[in-house]
Structure 1
Amino acid sequence: PPPQTPAAAAPKKKGFFRRLRNLVLTLAVLGAIGFGGGVWYSRVNDSFHDFFTEYVPFGEQAVLYFEEMDFRKRFPNISNKIKSRDTGSQVAVPAQSGASWRVADNGEPAGRQSSAVDKAQAAKVAAVKEKPKPVEKKRKAPEPKPAPVEAKVVAPKQEENDFKPPEVNEPSRFPPIPPIDAIKIEDATEPVVQDLVRMLNDIITVINADKAHGRYSPTITKAKNELSKVGSKIKAIKSSVEEKAAAEVQAKVADFDKAANDLITRVEGAMVAQEGAWRKEFEHEMKKVKESYDARAKLLLEREKQLNEERLNNQLLEQALALKKEFVTEVEKHVESEREGRLGKLEKLSDAVADLEKLTTGWNEVVDTNLRTQQLHVAVDAVRATLENATSPRPFTRELVALKEIAADDPVVNAAIASINPSAYQRGLANAAQLIDRFRIVASEVRKASLLPDEAGVASHASSYLLSKVMFKKQGLADGNDVESILTRTQTLLEEGNLDAAAREMNGLQGWAKTLSRDWLGEVRKTLEVQQALDVIATEARLQSLKDAVDALNTLQTPFAVIEARRKAGVRPDEASVKEMRAYLARIGYTTADLDKLNVIHVAGTKGKGSTCAFTDSILASHRALSPSSVPRKVGLLISPHLIAVRERIRINGVPISEALFAKYFFEVWDRLGSSTADAEGVALGTRPIYSRYLTLVSFHAFIEEGVDCAILETGIGGEYDATNLVGRPVATGITTLGIDHVFALGDTVGKIAWHKAGIMKTGSRAFTVEQLGEAQGVLEERAAEKRVKLEVVKVDERMKDVRIRPDKEFQRRNASLAVRLAESVLERLEEGFKPDPAKLPESFVKGLEEVVWRGRCEVKDEGSVVWFVDGAHTTDSLKMAGRWFAGETEARRRRRVLVFNQQGRTEAIDFLDGLYEAVKRDGRGFDGVVFCTNVTYKETGYKRDFVNHQYDNKAIEAMTVQKQFAERWRELDPQADVRVIPTIEEALDYVRGLAESNGEGESVQAFVTGSLHLVGGALQILEGADAL
């Protein structure tokens, strides 16, 4: 057999250094090609020329070198004779004589008598003077397009023209020939053309000076024509050269691209091959490691299996012993089981009692105080009943003693009792009917006395008696100061029950008439003293009852430590919160169907929900005032938080419920929750909800008891899990502008917050929203579709164009437009025949929008030396709007500006200051002074009872930690401002007033109080005192 051909040897891999050398050579060749292409293209393109010569190393030298070579090739005969234009010298042109140069330089006339020697000497002098200066090698900046070249010709002095026409029979004479004009070419952009123009103009100057223009004029004219064609010829040459160079560069670039692509392809191929080799090597090593690991794991599993089997055997032995012991003691346990069961029940009962004691620990004092207050009410009513029901005057000393004992040394009650005349409670008082009967007797005597003259006898007395019987008597509240008019008015007032006014009328009598009525007036005075004392005691009891209610309410606040613990644990509102509220609602005797009868308008949002509720309430009130027979007749309003007093959260027909009603309904709910036996899953008996939820229950109870036929509910936090979201079928729901707020409870994006706010929308109810930004609108529409609700987006109502809205800003007009749609919805539901007019707002709507009162929002109070601008704002956007409002209000009257600010317990509040600063700074001015204070009301007594808040860290308030952080941040924003940290609201306002006093007369201070509503409410309480609510 033929010998086998040996296998071809595998190609030997190229070494690393050889590949590196090839790569370096390739890069060098490509770099050289690129450098050459750059040199060529820089000669074609001016912009690239600037870049290449400035940033590429050795680029400028290479370009200059090739430009010089090119020039020498094109002009080989004159390359060594050309002078640089930079020297500014002109081209010397020989003339017929030296005198010509003198004429050109000095403007002197010369004849043609100059000799050749003079010409040679002039040429030598010109040559010496025109030695070329060394030319510096530097790149010139691009020159602008030159203006048309004009010759700088020195005009020779004009000789006097002695030419005269020839006379008759004289030889003929001819006029002189005019000199040659200088050349002027409009588009001489080429430097060569410019040089030629200058040179030819110099020649023309010399010819004119030598008066040889007649001889050389045709030659100069021909030169002018040829010179005008030089520019176009140069352009044509340049254009052809540029086209040829562009073609060469394009070819070079194509070659460069091809070489670069080939290099990239080779590099990528090498990298792919290297990656494949590494992958195979890695997989091989991985396989070896896996096999080693599997063997190790198998060995460990076998060992663990043996250990587990031994451990299991030991456990079985232990269990057998334990079962044996249990079997031995089982009989003993069976004997004791009955006794232990009874003891267990006793222990459970004891634990329940202990839990109940813990639950009522904070409420016993409240219950005792309220019981004493109720007993005081009962005692006052008992005294009044004794006086009114007695058929004859009887003492009421025992009742007053009991009243004094119940009051427990109350100074107000003791003072009121001491003001009563002792004879009144010792002998008793006449009731109203008895006083009227006695008045009739006294009035008869007074009438007779008024008819008697001063010196009357028996006949006069008889006649006055008869006249008093038959004379005409007046009726009602008659006018006049005569006796009959006074008696008539007094009787009318007595019949109306106005004893005080009746006594004032009788005091107006004079003479015998007053003397006769003195005893009756004494009885009336005693009765009035007792009534006034009882009114004082009743008012004190009512106030004490209100204080008790507010104190009890404050015990329902969640402590700061609990809030922090929940925050750290991530506890947020959920469906359980709504279930809990339904359980509490059932325990006070109501269902969600009872709430639907209130015809609820439900409003949620981040900004403007309070204003929207106020607008809606004012529109319905105005509509009711202009149409008394219309419905709704009673409108309830629930808002939060309160500004000055807690009872202002619950309003009926625009007015906060009275102190007595608030205390009454508060304790009725309190007692019902405490005594209810209705069981509910997860809600222990005897418990009460937290602060805001409890007030929601009180509002429902008050609205139902007072017969409200329309209720406007403002949500507290969110909507889906809010305490107000128990209404199953509201008439309409409204969502105001959304933003970032209550991040922990609702989420950190507008979309998450919108999801919660949209929870108030209900199937079968109308839903409205103002225009929203970003993802909020999309989330609202998704939730509306989910609940099968048609969501209407409310824009600014064109019908409000001429309505005066305060403040007249875009955001407030959006709120007002939403309120109009909500009010129209409820009137369409309740009032038969009502139909909205799309072209014009009803008069009642306009009046309601213009006359709305919403305390603490864009409010101005002028004290003379201080003008207070008050606006509560608790979000970044609302603070910006408040700042813009203040800047707009104070722009026209510039005074010293002071800011009073606080926002307690909000971790993000320090970021609010940036937006507030920018908003106020828009008019170019900031604050001259800045005060950061806590929400503590008074310096001496601390918080007002309605402002107590346990949800904040007391240690941080005492140390003013947050306020110091605010001050530090503001100093960074405005180093020029005078920043102060002050402990209480009262001291902060006093500081501002002190600044006003230091200004002197005529210079007021503009103080802006903003931030927390607790701060705003406290400021109004101090500024207005008892008139604040």
Structure 2
Amino acid sequence: MLGVIRQAARVRPTNLFFSYIMRQQFSQTRKRIFSTEATSKATTDTSKNVTKEATIAPTEAIRKELETSKVAKEESPRKKGFGFGKFILGVTLLGGIAYGGSIYYSLKNEEFRDIFTEYVYGAEKSVEYVEDLQKQGIFDRLEKKGKEVVDKVIRTFKPTPAVEPGIKESAKDVILNKDQKIVNKKAESFENPILFKLTNTLNELINILSNYDVKDKDDLIKRAQEELKELEVHIDLLKIENQAKIQSTIDEQIEKYNQRYDSKEYELKQQLEEEKRRLYEQHYEQLKSELARESTKHNEELKNALFRQATEMQRRWIRDVKVMVEQERGGRLARLDNINHKLKILERISVDNAERLDSSLKAHRLWCALRSLQDAVEQPHRTPFANQITAMKYLTSTDEIVTTVLSTIDDNIANNGVDSVSDLSARFAIVREKVRRASLVPEDGGVFAHLLSAMFSRILFHTATRELNQLKGWPKKLAEDWIKAAKNHLEIKQAIEVIETQATLSSLSVV
């Protein structure tokens, strides 16, 4: 296809040259027909002179004449009208440009981004989507691909320099024979049927001009004009077809990139969810195994300590018994009461040691449950701790203080968890900005009051928003959720501190 276009571009100057010859020949032939007194010799001389003039005439004049007619057609006035559809299209384009410009400026200015995402519906999702595309480098790749396609199209449709006409000859036969050979060679190399027909027509015109036979000149001229128009239409169709193919290629590439982006986004989301689930299960299993290992280790230590203490007590008792027996052999029966008293003391010591071991075990379990509760509360995200509360209630069923503290914790809070300190700090930065803007709005204030509050709030002190418990009106409503979340967090912290103090006291009492 590109070869046909290049061949047509090379043949065009030759076609113009022969068209100019045909026009001159037609004019001279018409004069010859109406001149009845002209002899054949005069006619022959006139034809030779015309052929010389046509040969010497430059192709640049023909190009200028065609360009002038084309410019005149393009500059012809066209009626312009105004319709409602054009108005809607203009408003839509203007709105789209303004929306896109706002998104672009939001990426550059944080203050404008806050205002734009707050007051424009859907702006936050649009800005985040554009940021994701920008991070992935899709815009750079599309721009690079577009430049490559444009460069390729420019190289494809770059016109081939026209071939300059041959060396001028003075004799008519030499010129016609030379042109006849050139056209015949080009006709053999043409693959397009339209160009092949055009070359045949030009050959016929050359033969007519060489033989000075002009009987069928009108039909040949019309046919040459029609075939030239067909060639022009064919070249235009080729250009339109190439442009359509290029546009379809660009659309396919864009669609392919969009599909790849969607699939990659879905894959990354799935990987993130899988990683979160795996880390949670790994942490839970690790915590469970650690707790079981510590409990087993502590029980083994308690058993070993009890066994060593019982063995030592048994040895001591046997030794004492032996001493007593030896003394009793010496007639010291009066000290049997003292032996019984010591035996009771030993029994009491054994019972006390067993009770202390049980108390120590309960205190250790309470500390383990308390540490698990602290870990759940100090997580960077909301973590339920209902299981820890249930375990502590079971371990401290006889402790009234711990039971009372645990009863003050709401079941919904235990099931849903509390916000971490980092989440509260991040939310406080947002609430502080909202409260600062609405600090001058009365309870029944309208839109105008909100605008005035947003304007005058920039000159207020930032420390005024710290006293959130003393707020009233709109500021109190804005900060109500944050105050509630902070209150729940502090209540759980306070309960943990009370239980930790009680556990410390229990450990000290065991010692």
TM-score for the superposition, normalised by structure 1: 0.15
* Structure with more contact order per residue of length (Cα contacts < 8 Å, sep ≥ 6): 2
More strand by share: 1
TM-score for the superposition, normalised by structure 2: 0.28
- Choose 1 or 2 for highest CA Rg: 1
More helix by share: 2
